[in-house]
Amino acid sequence: MLPSANVASGAIAACDPWNARRVEPARPQTLEDAVRRTLFALYLALAAISPARSLAQVRVEPAATHESLLASHDKRLAANKRMVYDFWRIVLEGGHLDQAGKYLADGYIQHNPNVPTGRAGFVEFFSKFAKPGPIEPTIRAPLVSIVAERDLVVLGFVHELADPADATKRYTTTSFDMFRIEAGRIAEHWDADRKE
């Protein structure tokens, strides 16, 4: 037999036939609750009918100029940014490994699994394929940001790649290189490279 419904105090109450527990009526809904539930339902409906839109990516764009990225109110942080920036420009992109000693500490610690640690290991590794060339006034790679805090400097770069789901489309992503500065030289480096 189904539980009977009683009208008590203007509210409908029902009995639970399994343990005779009284079930309280739902509390009245406020206008704020109704608006919140309606907006949430609308959001779910829009997400259901336009899944591609909810997964769309905002394209990563490189910085138009680098001077604002190098600026800082703290002179030490500005100097650290400039030193890492010039190292990237001159030694890595320019191939001037003879200037590595100006930027890298002797005991340089390398966390990239493909590059040996130490300044000598760095120079030996990159001398296999880096040839000295012109030194550009700015970093050629598409630079997004330069962030400096305490003794760390992080360079952020944009990369454009083929979409693995559709080779006719491209997407952008970012990579980061982080450096620790000690006594005016780069003492340590991190990136997200994997062993090759």
For the chain, which residues make up each domain, given as ranges?
Answer: 5-50, 67-190
How many other CB atoms sit within 10 Å of the CB of residue 156? 19
57 contact partners, CB below 8 Å, separation of at least 6 = 171, 172
Q: What is the mean pLDDT of residues 12-16?
A: 42
pLDDT at residue number 131: 94
Question: Is the predicted pLDDT of residue 52 greater than 60, yes or no?
Answer: no
Mind listing the pLDDT tens digit for each residue in 87-125? Answer: 999 999 999 999 999 999 999 999 999 999 999 999 999
The topology under which CATH files domain 67-190 is: Nuclear Transport Factor 2; Chain: A, (3.10.450)
Distance between CA atoms of residues 79 and 19, nearest Å = 74
Distance between CA atoms of residues 138 and 67, nearest Å = 9
Exposure string of 121-149, with b = 16+ CB inside 10 Å and e = fewer, is: ebbebeeeebeeeeeeeebebbbbebebe
pLDDT at residue number 126: 96
**0.95 cut: is pTM over it?**
no
Is 97 in a helix, a strand, or coil?
helix
